[in-house]
Structure 1
Amino acid sequence: MSEENKNVTIYWRQGCGFCARLTDAVGELADKATWRNIWEDDEAAAFVRSVNDGNEVVPTVVINGEAHTNPDPQTVVDALSAQ
């Protein structure tokens, strides 16, 4: 699936337990999302801070243009399944 056709963007970082939980839940649907590591992408980190009161809270997931901070993994699975 091309990047422009993906409606889910997952902002994450290495060593984050909540990110690992989300990754496990997403499983085989992972390639349907755009993944942005905030420790390797300054623009991604700035976006996460902009929607989390200046904090780098991950996972932050954008689904169809709406940011969700540490969403229930099933919400993300449902969004990816609908693509």
Structure 2
Amino acid sequence: MTRAWGLSTMFLLCGALLAAGVFVRGTPVVAAVLLLAFVLLAGMHSPLVFPRSISAREAERRSAVDGRPIVFWRSGCKYCIRLRIRLGRDAGRLHWVDIWRDADGAAAVRAANDGNETVPTVVVAGRPHVSPDPRWVREQLSRSV
């Protein structure tokens, strides 16, 4: 759990320190803009941006029932963020597994990627697809039950 929030925490701390330094130098507007930028970066890299993460076993069970794809992801991954943003509202219909919170999910990703934890890995009908195009993922989602 700590690992998932690590990058967001780092962005908040660095942003606060940088904004404080700029504020002390007498430019409060620039300090506010910098702080806002770092807060946005922290939010984009936090688990809050993604739909609620579930365990790999629960995702497999749900996917077997409804046919929806499973997305293995981790916070701080720019490709995961890109996928999430480009999917928009459809992202909530997928089964999301945070590999930093779920050891089984991390193991599944390593098994699919020659021992590497390459994300996003999207599993459709039991077949893993590494960093697929968001349009393709949306098509797979529309084919599910």
TM-score between the two structures when normalised by the length of structure 1: 0.90
Paired with 1:31 and 1:43, the residues of 2 have a C-alpha distance of: 21
Q: Corresponding residue for 1:16?
A: 77
Q: Of 53, 60, 68, which aligns to 2:129?
A: 68
Residue range with higher mean Cα deviation, 38-47 or 27-36: 27-36
- Alignment partners' CA distance in 2, 1:8 and 1:47: 14
Count of aligned positions: 82
The structure that has the greater radius of gyration is 2
Aligned to 1:76, the other structure's residue is in SS state helix
Please list every run of 5 or more consecutive structure 2 residues that lacks an aligned counterpart in the other structure: 1-61
Instruction: Provide structure 1 residue ranges, at least 5 long, that are not aligned to the other structure.
Output: none
The 2-side partners of 1:82 and 1:67 are apart by 17
Aligned-residue RMSD, C-alpha? 1.4
Residue 6 of structure 1 deviates from its aligned partner by 3.8
Task: Determine helix, strand or coil for the equivalent of 2:123.
Answer: strand
Instruction: Give the superposition deviation at 1:66.
Output: 1.1
- Quote how far apart the aligned CAs of 1:65 are: 1.5
AA of the residue aligned to 1:41: D
Q: CA–CA distance in 1 between the matches of 2:134 and 2:119?
A: 13
Where relative contact order (Cα < 8 A, 6+ residues apart) is larger, the structure is 1
Map 1:30-45 → 2, pairs under 5 A = 30-45=91-106
CA distance in 1, matches of 2:81, 2:69: 17
Q: Which runs of 4+ in 1 moved over 4 A?
A: none
Q: Secondary structure at the match of 1:50?
A: helix
User: Which protein has the bigger strand share?
Assistant: 1
Distance of 1:24 and 1:68 partners within structure 2? 18
Higher relative helix content = 2
Q: TM-score, normalised by structure 2?
A: 0.53
Identity of aligned residues (%): 43
